[in-house]
Chain A
Amino acid sequence: MVWTNAIIQGVLLGGLYALFATGLSLSFGVMRLVNLAHGDLAIFAAFMTLSISTSLKINPLVALLIVLPAAFVVGYLLQLIIFDRVVGVDPAFQIVATFGLGIVIQNALLEKYTADTRGLNVGRLKTSTIKVNDTIGIGWLPLLTFITAVVVLSSLALFLKRTKLGRAFRATSDDPDAARLMGIDIKRVFAVAMALAIATVALAGVLFGARSSFDPFVGPARLIYAFEAVIIGGLGSLWGTLAGGVTLGVAQAIGRQINPQWGELFGHFVFLAVLVFRPTGMFGKVQSR
């Protein structure tokens, strides 16, 4: 029963990891860009939410109404101002620019908020659980997070499949030059993709901040889990990303159940095993490059 509970918690945590991974998967899929500041942007959003919810005295989840559109705009501008210049050049500069951005965000947060750990106070939602039996309890917040992840991923899949802009996304992903010749405004496609990526990761960051405490330096770990979820699930597959997140969450939960210090390490081992034995991931279509 202890194990069943651990696995259930792992699956729910995996939903959060998938939400962190969605933007990474999207930006890689559309413009082959890996943003190393991905996790730091999520934590940045969590801190913004903290400031807004305390100054306006509103619930952090209500503050999302301000934070998510803001994140969308930030993503759009980041792509136009910074990332566009490093798409398709020597990957070293892409890594330097995005990694540098992450370091800048971490230290800016440190300067403004100090290194103290914070949390987002979402009221009763944080503690209320559905009791299945004595050992198994499902928290409302983790459940809500998991459902949010599924909804976000489904909407994104539908967007890519059904809308005109979604088709432009897929065309650009397949062959940017041909897409440009067909009259697609590639720069705009890239900017919208990054805007969506940052908005989803901001949502993930706020949900993360509601369930765990955070400080300016927890971003890189979020990036690493997101990346592991993407690779485990397989590049180029949105549902693979969900499966990857859940696999990672369960692996960490099992490890933690054996020894509290082993949680993260178990997750890394699963990731490394996938890299060694199945580099295309569970549902992967494209080789990483």
Chain B
Amino acid sequence: MTTRVVRGTLASRVFAVVAIVAVVVLAFLPSWGSISLQRKMVELLTLMALAVMWNLLAGFAGVVSVGQQAFVGLGAYSMIAFVNVHHQNLYWSVFFSALVAAVLSIPIGLIAFRLRGSYFAIGTWVLAEAVSLIVILQKSLGAGNGASLNVKGHALATRQDNSYWFALVVGAGAVLLTYLVLRSRLGLQMQAIRDSEDGARGLGANVYRTRFLVWILAAFWTGLAGATYYLQQLRVQPAGTGGAFSVVQWTAPIIFIVVIGGIGTIEGPVIGAVLYYVLRERFKDHQTVYFISMGIIAIAVALLLQGGIWGTIRRKLGADLFPVRRRLVQRPD
């Protein structure tokens, strides 16, 4: 008998091929899809990226934040600052805005990480409020009214295509990033900590450092998604409907998506995001009732079906599409 550690499964290999084909087909969407579909896909892909990042934090690293809107807002407003105030290149600004979000996540995290569990969650919320209030004081960024991204000199069609490709990279990249992180040493530590904090610590995992690294990573990608979303929307405002710092606009749907799709799985947030977005478009005329229903479903899932949609499917099928678990396989010689 020989024993080997195996990760991939037949399902995962088939899925990898399907996923690559899907991304290639989506990359050519500007040549086969309508403009309106393209615009909708930007919304869906950025929302998906945000959900995937929140899941990496909450579902794998045990860091439950309700202040991720801070990084969406920082991404959006840094882009306004780079482009409108400092006249930098539109597309490079998207990247540098994400970098700003990541850098500022360090002081924010240093304060928030003094709290644990639910108190950490509200703490991140307070910090997001403080960041938003400071941004509102900046007259050059449009204060409370917001600002429009200056896109003079960029043709509409190219800009829309570019926004779409950015969003595709942000969305698909978020999933790939999660997969790679989970297969790395960092990912192993994260999951060990999630399963037993004391046990992981005893085996030499640095709990604080591991969580903090994931926090910064998520802030970067959240900022990237925020900047990309507003690259298409153009109009950035701090609060209210569509507000870059609005908890109702961002963090609420993100949490619903992840919990309903399946927290702590890679596939869950993707399924959740597609489901959430498609249903939202379907019930466009009943937004409030739709939001109430999603909230009730999320509560029900949190109470009764904690694996969400994908967790339930996975239990039935016993197969992962993204092989991050190590399995022992025994074979007779």
Q: Which of A68-120 contact B (CB under 8 A)?
A: 82, 85-86, 90-97, 99-101, 103-104, 106-108, 110-111
Q: Does B288 contact A (CB under 8 A)?
A: yes
Of B136, B137, B252, B296, which is within 8 A of A99 by CB? B252
Are A34 and B119 touching (Cβ within 8 A)? Answer: yes
Known: A33-B118, A34-B122, A224-B125. A92 touches B299 (CB 8 A): no
Stretch from A153-161, A188-196, A200-208, A260-268 forming part of the interface with B: A260-268
Q: Does B191 contact A (CB under 8 A)?
A: no
Are B66 and A99 touching (Cβ within 8 A)? Answer: yes
Known: A86-B302, A96-B298, A96-B302. A103 touches B114 (CB 8 A): no
Q: Does A213 contact B (CB under 8 A)?
A: no
Stretch from B26-34, B98-106, B126-134, B218-226 forming part of the interface with A: B126-134
List, in ascending order, chain A residues with CB within 8 A of B252's CB. Answer: 99, 103
A269 to B103, CA, bound (A): 20
Are A288 and B299 touching (Cβ within 8 A)? Answer: no
Q: Does A276 contact B (CB under 8 A)?
A: yes
Interface residues on B, range: 35 or more
Of A94, A108, A271, which is within 8 A of B118 by CB? A94
Q: Does A289 contact B (CB under 8 A)?
A: yes
Q: Does B52 contact A (CB under 8 A)?
A: no
Q: Does A253 contact B (CB under 8 A)?
A: no
Of B59, B122, B299, which is within 8 A of A104 by CB? B299
- Per-residue B-contact encoding for A11-36, CB less than 8 Å = 1, 0 else: 00000000000000000000001101
Stretch from B80-88, B255-263, B310-318 forming part of the interface with A: B255-263
A219 to B270, CA, bound (A): 31
Q: Does A52 contact B (CB under 8 A)?
A: no
Q: Does B146 contact A (CB under 8 A)?
A: no
Q: Does A275 contact B (CB under 8 A)?
A: yes
Known: A92-B58, A107-B292, A288-B119. A261 touches B303 (CB 8 A): no
Q: Does B11 contact A (CB under 8 A)?
A: no
Q: Does B35 contact A (CB under 8 A)?
A: no
List, in ascending order, chain B residues with CB within 8 A of A271's CB. Answer: 126
Are A100 and B122 touching (Cβ within 8 A)? Answer: no
Are B122 and A265 touching (Cβ within 8 A)? Answer: no
Q: Does B64 contact A (CB under 8 A)?
A: yes
Are B248 and A217 touching (Cβ within 8 A)? Answer: yes
Are B122 and A227 touching (Cβ within 8 A)? Answer: yes
Q: Which of A204-220 contact B (CB under 8 A)?
A: 217, 220
A143 to B294, CA, bound (A): 42
- Per-residue A-contact encoding for B239-278, CB less than 8 Å = 1, 0 else: 0000000011000100110010001000000000000000
Are B256 and A100 touching (Cβ within 8 A)? Answer: yes
Main SS of the interface on chain A?
helix
Q: Does B111 contact A (CB under 8 A)?
A: yes
CB distance from A105 to the nearest CB of B (A): 9
A10 to B199, CA, bound (A): 47
**Looking across the interface, which residue of chain A has its beta carbon closest to that of B133?**
A265
Known: A103-B295, A104-B299, A289-B116. A268 touches B64 (CB 8 A): no
A255 to B37, CA, bound (A): 48
A34 to B123, CA, bound (A): 12
Q: Does A279 contact B (CB under 8 A)?
A: yes
Q: Which of A257-289 contact B (CB under 8 A)?
A: 261, 264-265, 268-269, 271-272, 275-276, 279, 288-289
Which of B126, B127, B248, B298 has the most CB atoms of chain A within a 10 A radius of its CB? B126
- Per-residue A-contact encoding for B161-178, CB less than 8 Å = 1, 0 else: 000000000000000000
List, in ascending order, chain B residues with CB within 8 A of A91's CB. Answer: 64, 117-118, 121
Q: Which of B26-55 contact A (CB under 8 A)?
A: none
Known: A36-B66, A276-B111. A261 touches B137 (CB 8 A): yes
Are B256 and A289 touching (Cβ within 8 A)? Answer: no
Of B64, B122, B136, B306, which is within 8 A of A223 by CB? B122
- Per-residue B-contact encoding for A233-272, CB less than 8 Å = 1, 0 else: 0000000000000000000000000000100110011011
Q: Does B319 contact A (CB under 8 A)?
A: no
A104 to B130, CA, bound (A): 25
CB distance from A106 to the nearest CB of B (A): 7
Q: Does B179 contact A (CB under 8 A)?
A: no
Are B126 and A228 touching (Cβ within 8 A)? Answer: yes
A94 to B66, CA, bound (A): 12
CB pairs A–B below 8 angstroms (10 shown): A34-B119, A36-B122, A85-B303, A93-B302, A95-B121, A97-B303, A99-B252, A110-B288, A271-B126, A276-B111
Residues of A whose CB lies within 8 Å of any CB of B are 33-34, 36, 82, 85-86, 90-97, 99-101, 103-104, 106-108, 110-111, 217, 220, 223-224, 227-228, 231, 261, 264-265, 268-269, 271-272, 275-276, 279, 288-289
